[in-house]
Amino acid sequence: MSTSIVLIGPADALPALRERVDPGAELHTFTEAEALEALDHIIRTKPRIIALDHEFSSTSRGTALINRIKDDASLVGCELRVIAHDSVHKTVPSRHGSGPVAAAVAVEERKPVALDHQGTRRATRYRVKDGVELLVDGNTALLVDVSAVGAQVLCPSVLRPNQKVRLTFSDPGGAIRCNGSVSWASLELPKGLPPRYRAGIDMTGGDPDAIKAYGERHKK
């Protein structure tokens, strides 16, 4: 394992954050926009300390990066810190229960929020089989579940809350086109796979009966 430190945060915050880590250590800095480059460097070099800016750590990109690091058994020896400009660092516990963990800090692990809350479901939701594809603004995405009023998707392109999108469901039964609005979205960095966005989309304009039939054809 390397003795270096990786520091990740907003570009304008990096100078102040540098002052909060060991000045004699080999330091590699990445801006929050370079999170994927930082992850690649971390996996290759396995630094002694991975330090994240406190505000960045609470964003969807920061949370995804933390969860990806904590899920990687090869990085169990790395100390993962969340630091602020004016406070001492806090150490994030590893999921594997070992490594140089001194103190725990609660880190929100964002889980996708269901489109239909229990007890207020607006339409029957179908959990679909693995590998079912659809188009989101012309980009191929994977369908997780669908109802007449919404869908959960995994998409390689950026999706943000309140973003307006066009959806196309196609199979031998025909094509269904409708409009949608992203109700929630979270970045995921799955091990061994490209980054992706998991999102819930509220749909309008589609044929409810056709969507229901589509869900029936592809349900698990």
Residues 131 and 78 in one domain: no
Model confidence band, residue 110 (pLDDT cutoffs 50, 70, 90): very low
Q: Residue holding tokens 């579940």? A: 145
26 near 5, Cβ under 8 Å? yes
Q: Is 35 strand, coil or helix?
A: helix
pLDDT for the residue numbered 101: 33
Residue closest to 204 by CA, chosen among 159, 167, 163, 158: 167
Does 139 fall in a domain?
yes
Give residue-wise pLDDT tens across range 55-107.
Answer: 898 888 888 899 888 888 888 889 999 987 555 455 555 554 444 333 333 33
Model confidence band, residue 118 (pLDDT cutoffs 50, 70, 90): very low
Model confidence band, residue 114 (pLDDT cutoffs 50, 70, 90): very low
Does 58 fall in a domain?
yes
Residues 213 and 132 in one domain: yes
Q: Mean of the per-residue pLDDT values for the chain?
A: 82
Give residue-wise pLDDT tens across range 163-185.
Answer: 999 999 999 989 999 999 998 88
The domain total for the chain is: 2
Residues 86 and 134 in one domain: no
Determine the average pLDDT of the residues in 104-123: 40
Look up the domain containing 75 and give its range: 5-92
Give residue-wise pLDDT tens across range 197-214.
Answer: 999 999 988 899 999 999
How large a percentage of the chain has pLDDT more than 90? 48
pLDDT for the residue numbered 172: 93
Determine the average pLDDT of the residues in 142-160: 93
CATH classification at residue 176: 2.40.10.220
pLDDT for the residue numbered 122: 52
CATH classification at residue 56: 3.40.50.2300
Tell me how far CA of residue 175 lies from CA of 90, 113, 134, in angstroms.
52, 27, 10
Q: Is the pLDDT of residue 137 over 90?
A: yes
Does 44 fall in a domain?
yes
58 near 78, Cβ under 8 Å? no
Does 116 fall in a domain?
no
Say what the pTM is. 0.59
